[in-house]
Chain A
C-alpha cells in the first residue's frame, strides 16, 4: 500500500497580498503553474500555484465582490493564458492584463458558463 502524494501546501491569503506575493515569487524565480477559479455560492475563489524545483506554493484568494482582479501577468507573462481563460469562463475582469483577448479567448455558446451560481444568487 502506498500513499505517494506531494505535500499539500495551500495558503489562504487576502486579495491585497496577491500582487505582493506574486512579485516576491517572480523575483524568487518561481514559475506560474496555474490559476484555477472555483465558484461556489456566488463567490469565486482563485487558486494560484507557483513552483520552483518541485516545491509548489499555492495561494487561495477570494475574489472581491466586484469581480475585478489585478492581473499577475506583469510578473508572470505566461499567466495570460490562464487569466484570459478564467475571464471567459467565470466572468472575472483582470486589470492590466498584458495580452488581453477581451473575451475572445474562447467562443462560447453561453457567456461565462461557470458563473452560474452567482447568477442564482442574483435571482
Chain B
C-alpha cells in the first residue's frame, strides 16, 4: 500500500482564490505531505524603482496588492517620509488610520466571504460580500476607486475628506454593524461552520514563535505581534489594544478577524471624533537622501515591512516590501501536514496567504 494519491492543488483551482500551487500527497484524505510552490504572480515590481521616481513608485507600490493596497501605499510612503525626514500633517495621519482600518474591514469581510466559500457555504459568502460593498462605496465616494485607491502620496493625502463625508462614513458603519453582528455570528456560532473550524489546524504558541508567523494567524494562537502597537498611525492615541485568542485553530483565527472588524469600526468612529482640522499634505521637495529606512505597518494579514534605500537621486536604490504572507508561508507548510483534504482550503484560508502580496 505504499501508494499515495497525489493531488495537484492550484494554481488554477476554484477553491483557491489565488495562484499558489501545492502538491498534496494523500492517504485516504489525509495529507501526508504538502509542498508549496509559488511564483505564478511574481512580477518583480520592486525593481521598478530604477525606472520610476520615488513619488510615482507610490502608485506602483499600491499595486502590490489590490486588497491591502492602501496599506502598501502608506507603508511605502511612511518609509520614504522617514528617509526624507518629512513630517506628515496630523490630519493626514488620522485619515490614513481611518482608511487603513476601512480597508481592514473590507479585507476581513472579503476574507470571511472566501472562507465561507471555501467551506461550501455559498449564501454566507454572498452576504459577506454584500456587506463589503458598502465599504467599497465609501472608497469610491471619497477616493474615486473601489480597490486601488491612489489616495496616498509622499507627504500626506491627495485630498481632504470633508467633515460631512466622515460623518456619513460613521453612519454607514453604524448601520453595517447591525447586519455584521448577525452575519459574523454565523461564523462564531453556527454548528456546521464550527464543525469545519474548531480544532482544525491547531497551531501552538511555540509553533508561531518559532516560525515567525504574524498577523491574525499569530494572534489566533495568542501571540501578539500587531504592528499597530508601534508608533505609526494614530493607534496609540486611540488606545489600541490587540485582539488575542488562544486556541490556535481555524476557529480562533476566524474569531480574531471577526473581532477585528468590530474593533476597526470602533477605531474609525473614535478617530472621526478626534480628527483635527488642517492640511492633509505638505509639499515635498528634494530628493531622498543617502541612507535607508524601515517602516512597519499592520496590514490586514499581519505586519508588513518596508525598506527603502536612497542614494540622493530621485530614483531609490532599493524599495523592499516584506509582506505578511511571505512570513506566513512556513506556518502554512507546517499546518498542512496531517490535515484532511477538505481542510486544506480551510487551512489555506485561515492563514490567508495573499500571493500577489507575497511575490510582488
Contacts and interface: CB of A to CB of B under 8 A. Distances in A.
- Direct contact, A vs B (beta carbon within 8 Å): yes
B152 to A, nearest CB: 15
B78 A1 contact: no
Chain A: interface size category:
35 or more
Given A1-B87, A5-B78, A6-B230, A34 B209 contact: no
Contact of B327 (A3, A6, A33, A105): A33
A76 B318 CA distance: 25
Contacts of A47: 292, 307
Interface string B290-329: 0011111000000101010100000001101010001101
B27 interface: no
A34 B293 contact: no
Contacts of A32: 212
Interface of A, secondary structure class, is mixed
B87 A3 contact: yes
A77 B329 CA distance: 11
Interface of B, secondary structure class, is mixed
Contact of B317 (A40, A49, A80, A106): A40
A10 interface: yes
A105 B88 contact: no
A10 B292 contact: yes
Q: 8 shortest A-B CB distances, which residue pairs?
A: A31-B212, A78-B330, A34-B322, A106-B39, A1-B87, A4-B231, A38-B318, A78-B211
Given A36-B318, A54-B225, 15 more contacts: A1-B88, A2-B90, A2-B93, A3-B85, A4-B232, A5-B78, A6-B231, A33-B303, A33-B322, A34-B305, A36-B320, A36-B322, A56-B294, A80-B330, A106-B39
